[in-house]
Amino acid sequence: MVAQRGRRNGAKRTRSEAAPDADNAPTAEMPAVTENGTDPEIRARSIPEAAVARLAVYLRVLSAMADQGATTVSSEELSTAAGVNSAKLRKDLSYLGSYGTRGVGYDVAVLVGHIERTLGLTRQHRVAVVGIGNLGHALANYGGFPGRGFPVEALFDIDPDLIGVPVGGLPVSHIDDIPVVCAERGISIGVIATPPPAAQSVCDRLVAGGVQCILNFAPVVLQVPEHVEVRKVDLAVELQILSFHVARRADGEANGRVIDEGSVAGNGVVVP
């Protein structure tokens, strides 16, 4: 996904760089916690955004382990399940003040609690979905959001045939009502699933309603104030990235076959 930030003093800017994947990339301010879940100083510690993304993956894996009855997990087991190397995992968890116990590993329940506090999941974040097309319907009806602390509390569209119609148990409101409804219901996260031309207008309404975080599925770069965080999900871009990897592997396999046949190496050099 693409991360996008705003600009200070109410001005707006756009940013379209891909989300950082290096540990020295821009950071998010997160509270540190100690192994027993308390820290008398509770100071903010800078965690790289790439590490924040991995913490969410660790939480998903750990929650599944807990559901299966696991009480402890080694760094090797957790890193394998999460698809990262164990050294990177240990570094990520060290940001939480969690270092595990030699020969035992990490307490699953304690680690889940640490990550949930760091990711701000100890309270619910009310969500509004704007654009009740196929994607919006799917998001509104998805039952996994409330259980993870993200109840969908408001739906919006511009189609008069949809206004007032319940979707996922919630009536659809008109997009003109976004500022008032979002303020009344304490919406903190807005999901934009509209056609591209409507996305910026919807974004402005969400910001006017006090929404501080936006998940944008529209293939446009939004202009937002500094205090608003935007995550962009462009499925076409993701598919293009996958296409690159498929093509690269296909090229590698083709070159490998040529080498095996004893004619030409992958760099075009003739093999004796």
Q: Give the bridge partners for 31, in sequence order.
A: 44
Q: Tell me the domain boundaries of the chain.
A: 27-118, 123-233, 236-272
Q: Burial level of 189, CB count in 10 A (0-12/13-18/19+)?
A: buried
pLDDT higher at 78 or 259: 78
The per-residue pLDDT for 235 is: 85
Per CATH, is 27-118 categorized as 1.10.10.10?
Answer: yes
Reported residue count of the chain is 272
Taking the C-alpha atoms of residue 209 and residue 16, their distance in angstroms, rounded to an integer, is 24
pLDDT at 247 over 50: yes
pLDDT in tens, 89-118: 988 888 887 667 777 788 899 898 888 888
Q: Give the bridge partners for 174, in sequence order.
A: 157
Taking the C-alpha atoms of residue 150 and residue 52, their distance in angstroms, rounded to an integer, is 18
- Please, which residues have CB within 8 angstroms of residue 215's CB and are 6 or more apart in sequence? 189, 190, 191, 192, 230, 231, 233
The per-residue pLDDT for 188 is: 94
Q: What are phi and psi of 219, to 5 degrees?
A: -80, 60
Helix (H, G, I), strand (E, B) or coil at 191: strand
pLDDT in tens, 9-49: 344 544 433 344 444 444 444 333 444 443 423 333 578 88
Q: Give the bridge partners for 186, in sequence order.
A: none
Q: What are phi and psi of 127, to 5 degrees?
A: -115, 140
**Helix 75-82 / helix 86-94 crossing angle, nearest 10 deg:** 100
pLDDT band at 268 (very low <50, low <70, confident <90, very high): very low
Q: Does 134 show up as a binding residue in the annotation?
A: yes
- The pLDDT of 215-241, averaged and rounded, is 91
Six-digit token pair at 15? 């940013």
Q: Does 83 show up as a binding residue in the annotation?
A: no
Cβ proximity of 1 and 226 under 8 Å: no
Which of 7-11, 79-83, 96-100, 193-197 bottoms out in mean pLDDT, i.e. has the lowest? 7-11
Q: Does 133 show up as a binding residue in the annotation?
A: yes
Q: Does 144 show up as a binding residue in the annotation?
A: no
Same fold, 27-118 and 123-233: no
pLDDT at 258 over 70: no
Cβ proximity of 139 and 129 under 8 Å: yes
The per-residue pLDDT for 99 is: 66
* Fold of the domain built from segment(s) 123-233: Rossmann fold (3.40.50)
With the C-alpha atoms ordered 214, 143, 153, 179, is the resulting torsion angle positive or negative?
A: positive
> How do 166-167 and 170-174 pair as beta strands?
antiparallel
Taking the C-alpha atoms of residue 178 and residue 207, their distance in angstroms, rounded to an integer, is 9
Q: Does 131 show up as a binding residue in the annotation?
A: yes
Cβ proximity of 24 and 47 under 8 Å: no
Q: Does 178 show up as a binding residue in the annotation?
A: no
